[in-house]
Amino acid sequence: MQNFNNIIMSVFGGREIELPLNIKVLMNLKKEFGLDEISYSELLKKVHCDEQSQEIREFIKNEVRKILYECKYCPLHLADCHTQKVPGEGSWNSPLMLIGEAPGFEEDRLGRPFVGRAGELLTVILNKLNIDRKKVYITNVVKCRPPQNRTPLASEVKACSKILELELEFISPKVIITLGSVPLNYFKPKSSIVQSRGQWIYERGIWIMPTFHPAFILRQGGEALKRVKWQVWSDFNRAIAKVKELKPDYDFN
Ligand code: SF4
């Protein structure tokens, strides 16, 4: 039987064409698990279903990581401050995804998202909500550390969206908490975080709650600190309540 690549090549007159990354992952999944008879839409349903096997989840996670580790879509991997790509981590079955901006020094050093001071604060917030950090999915819009921790450029966000889109497609979260203005603007361009925080956005069938980045909380003092802490706490509580409404059986512990 002709394989999918050959069919595509014959349709395009023998020319090699670049397949979308999600299709590449699904093709490899079909091959690995002998699922040739299943259509791509059925396969995606299988990937999203709750009873999906741990093996399928692990396979997809590893495929996406392979694509990430080989990625040269933008020049950030050449930056002097960059030592390694920082993949998302947590549950690939979670109805809740947290999205930050880009790795900082500690994240780049350890190859894990949200492990510096801001990450510690994020873990404290989750623990206070009785949520095990491992049961949510935590990632950044951009996966390589920008020089001097500057805000990622629009071109870098666009390039790295190829990876984020794979995470969104295969994890299929019900609720996203965006941390800071970069992820907010990914879903709702030209938005101000000050005006948008705490306001639900409903995009692509996902409820998105924008809030401040934990690093922003750490930069506050006095009355501003109290106010921002309360705002972030309230945004997290509303997002968790929404997850519990949409996915009451999901165990966060
Ligand atoms: S920032 Fe993203 S797009 Fe750019 S090289 Fe790193 S992984 Fe690739």
Which pLDDT does position 10 carry in this prediction? Answer: 53
Q: Look at residue 42 in the predicted model and tell me its pLDDT.
A: 86
The CB of 99 under 6 Å from ligand 1? The reply is: no
Q: 177 forms bridges with which residues in the sheet?
A: 98, 209
Q: Are 91 and 137 in contact (CB under 8 A)?
A: yes
| Cα–Cα nearest to 21, from 139, 164, 174, 140 | 164
Domain count, the chain: 1
Tell me, what's the pLDDT at 225? Answer: 97
Range of weakest confidence among 7-11, 48-52, 162-166, 209-213: 7-11
Least confident segment among 46-50, 63-67, 166-170, 242-246: 46-50
Nearest CA to ligand 1 atom 7: 143
Res. 1: pLDDT tops 80: no
Chain-wide mean pLDDT for the chain?
Answer: 92
Is 8 part of a structural domain of the chain?
no
Indicate whether residue 71 lines ligand 1 (CB < 6 A): yes
Tell me how far the alpha carbon of residue 71 lies from the centroid of ligand 1, in angstroms: 6
**Which CATH number is 138's domain given?**
3.40.470.10
- 69 falls in which pLDDT band (50, 70, 90)? very high
Question: What pTM was estimated for this model as a whole?
Answer: 0.92
Looking at the domain assignment, is residue 40 inside a domain? Answer: no
Using the structure block, give the residue that is written with the tokens 């979260």: 173
Residue 64 lies in a domain: no
197 touches 233 (CB < 8 A):
no
* Gap from CA of 23 to ligand 1 centroid (Å): 20
Residues 74-90 have pLDDT tens digits of 999 999 889 999 999 99
Give mean pLDDT, residues 116-131: 97
Is 44 inside any structural domain? no
Give the mutation target among 64, 66, 71 for probing the ligand 1 site: most ligand atoms within 8 A of CB.
71
In a domain, 148, yes or no: yes
Closest residue to atom 3 of ligand 1, CA basis: 160
pLDDT digits (tens, 9 = 90+) for 196-246: 999 999 999 999 999 999 999 999 999 999 999 999 999 999 999 999 999
Distance, C-alpha 8 to centroid of its chain: 30
The answer to whether position 119 is within a domain reads: yes
Q: What percent of the chain has pLDDT over 70?
A: 92
193 located within any domain:
yes
Residue range(s) defining the domain that contains residue 173? 83-246
Question: Is 74 close to ligand 1, i.e. is its CB under 6 Å away?
Answer: yes
Would residue 124 count as lying in a domain? yes
How far is it, in rounded angstroms, from Cα 97 to Cα 172?
9
